[in-house]
């Protein structure tokens, strides 16, 4: 099974003294009984790892560790293993019991500071006692993000996830490449850019420009053509390109004109991976199959452009959806920075390419949709799906393809 490589997952280490509830917290975060919990201190001996998709962070792996205050010979070995976990931790959770801050907490804090690992202090077992003012004050003075939760009662878990998002290393939100990883140095990509009414005069749009820049940054090269010239341009080449990337609106023709053994995808799909969560969007497509006449769909547009007569979000997608469903679909449009609160009213959210949003903002929108249990996808994926070519377009992204086929979660 194709999964997100471990190296591409954000590693979240859970550290703390024995019996503070680290394993209970792992289970609460993953909603699964992953780790053994007991009131005997020293229950966890070896680190326990659980990979999952944690929206809005995307693919993560949690690592539950043995209590670092463990004593005796066996304890020393455990401490050693726990110490090794720090080395692969991108983001840490320091767990302690409410209002307790002792020698071991101080020790872990120092290790995390030394290794420059961002972390959150979690005061667990808040059901037993509220967090005292002087504890709050102390943490604030030390400038440490903290939260009081109850792993047992599953209280504060959602807030903790939000705090994880805020504390995650910034680089995590800036994936380095659009298509560079699909295109080894020296390889060719063909970019298909239709020049229609919606194309801005005298320039290309941001995803096209970003893709060209990304190709150059990766020491590959590209050819830019309009959809009508693609077939002829491909015939002139003495070597097949590695990849063809097209505008979603000409995906059908591009797929037809590209040899079977050459990858075809769309700028929307590339941007969905770059800006959002491609597997989540691929899963969201399954909701289209279940749409019924009179269902409500939210069309979410991040920028506020003046709608044209044949606007993609307002006219074309609603029209194609209705043809697919065979009846009326109520499409509401939200534009700009505001994202409505009443998401639960919708069967599906179809988002634009999010050129003007950053990755964190887009991931937060996906997270909000997920919290309300509403599937979300984007314009380009929807178009490729409705045109029947989505499987071909997801070939370069096997995990997302699996999500479309199986609704694979992690």
Interface pattern 110-149 for ligand GTP (x via CB under 6 A): --------------xx-xx---------------------
Pick between residue 49 and residue 127 the one whose CB is nearest to ligand GTP. Answer: 127
Structure-derived torsion over alpha carbons of residues 348, 271, 311, 307, reported in degrees to the nearest 10:
100
CB 144 within 8 A of CB 167: no
Pick between residue 125 and residue 401 the one whose CB is nearest to ligand GTP. Answer: 125
Pick between residue 44 and residue 218 the one whose CB is nearest to Mg ion. Answer: 44
Closest contact distance (angstroms) between CB of 16 and ligand GTP is 6
Residues touching ligand GTP, count (CB under 6 A):
23
Q: Which option in ligand GTP, Mg ion, none does residue 21 bind, with CB closer than 5 to 8 A by kind?
A: ligand GTP
User: What's the Cα-to-Cα distance from 79 to each of 61, 76, 95, rounded to whole Å?
Assistant: 20, 5, 16
Closest contact distance (angstroms) between CB of 74 and ligand GTP is 13
CB 165 within 8 A of CB 147: no
Residue from 39, 133, 171, 341 binding ligand GTP (CB under 6 A) = 39
Q: Residue 150, interface with ligand GTP (CB under 6 A)? A: yes
Q: Which option in ligand GTP, Mg ion, none does residue 41 bind, with CB closer than 5 to 8 A by kind?
A: ligand GTP
Structure-derived torsion over alpha carbons of residues 356, 393, 373, 4, reported in degrees to the nearest 10:
-90
Q: Scan for tokens 């599953």, then name that residue.
A: 154
Pick between residue 43 and residue 364 the one whose CB is nearest to Mg ion. Answer: 43
Question: What is the side-by-side order of every strand in the sheet holding 58-64?
Answer: 48-54, 58-64, 10-16, 91-97, 119-124, 146-148
- Taking 3-state DSSP, the helix, strand and coil percentages for the chain, each rounded to the nearest 5, stand at 40, 20, 40
Q: How far apart are CA 101 and CA 136, in angstroms?
A: 11
Residue from 10, 37, 269, 366 binding ligand GTP (CB under 6 A) = 37
Q: Residue 44, interface with ligand GTP (CB under 6 A)? A: yes
DSSP class per residue in 373-387: T--EEEHHHHHHHHT
Closest contact distance (angstroms) between CB of 66 and Mg ion is 7
Closest contact distance (angstroms) between CB of 333 and Mg ion is 49
Residue 363's SS3 state is: helix
Q: Which residues are near ligand GTP by CB under 6 A?
A: 18-24, 37-39, 41-44, 66-67, 124-125, 127-128, 150-152
């Amino acid at each position: 099974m194709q999964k997100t490589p471990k190296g591409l997952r954000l590693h979240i280490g859970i550290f703390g003294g024995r019996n503070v509830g680290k394993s209970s917290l792992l289970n609460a975060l993953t909603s699964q009984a992953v780790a053994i919990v007991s009131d005997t201190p020293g229950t966890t001996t070896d680190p326990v790892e659980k990979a999952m998709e944690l929206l809005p962070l995307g693919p993560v792996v949690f690592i539950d560790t043995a209590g670092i205050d463990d004593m005796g010979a066996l304890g020393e070995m455990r401490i050693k293993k726990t110490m090794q976990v720090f080395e692969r931790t991108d983001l840490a959770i320091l767990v302690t019991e409410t209002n307790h801050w002792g020698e071991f907490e101080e020790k872990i804090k120092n290790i995390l500071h030394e290794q420059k690992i961002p972390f959150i202090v979690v005061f667990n077992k808040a059901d037993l006692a509220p967090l005292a003012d002087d504890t709050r004050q102390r943490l604030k003075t030390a400038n440490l993000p903290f939260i009081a939760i109850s792993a047992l009662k599953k209280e504060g878990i959602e807030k903790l996830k939000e705090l994880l998002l805020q504390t995650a290393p910034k680089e995590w939100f800036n994936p380095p490449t659009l298509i560079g990883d699909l295109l080894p140095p020296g390889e060719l990509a063909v970019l298909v850019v239709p020049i229609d009414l919606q194309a801005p005069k005298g320039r290309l749009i941001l995803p096209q420009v970003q893709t060209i820049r990304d190709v150059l940054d990766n020491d590959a090269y590209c050819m830019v053509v309009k959809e009508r010239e693609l077939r002829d341009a491909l015939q002139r080449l003495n070597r097949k390109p590695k990849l063809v990337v097209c505008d979603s609106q000409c995906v059908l023709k591009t797929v037809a004109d590209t040899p079977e053994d050459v990858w075809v995808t769309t700028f929307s799909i590339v941007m969905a991976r770059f800006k959002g969560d491609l597997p989540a969007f691929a899963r969201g497509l399954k909701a289209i199959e279940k749409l019924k006449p009179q269902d409500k769909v939210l069309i979410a547009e991040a920028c506020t452009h003046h709608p044209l007569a044949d606007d993609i979000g307002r006219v074309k997608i609603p029209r194609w959806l209705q043809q697919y469903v065979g009846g009326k679909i109520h499409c509401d449009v939200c534009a700009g920075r505001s994202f409505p609160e009443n998401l639960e009213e919708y069967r599906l959210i179809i988002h634009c390419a999010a050129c003007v949003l950053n990755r964190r903002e887009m991931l937060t929108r996906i997270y909000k949709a997920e919290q309300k249990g509403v599937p979300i996808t984007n314009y380009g994926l929807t178009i490729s799906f409705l045109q029947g070519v989505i499987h071909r377009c997801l070939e370069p992204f096997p995990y997302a393809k699996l999500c479309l086929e199986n609704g694979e979660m992690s």
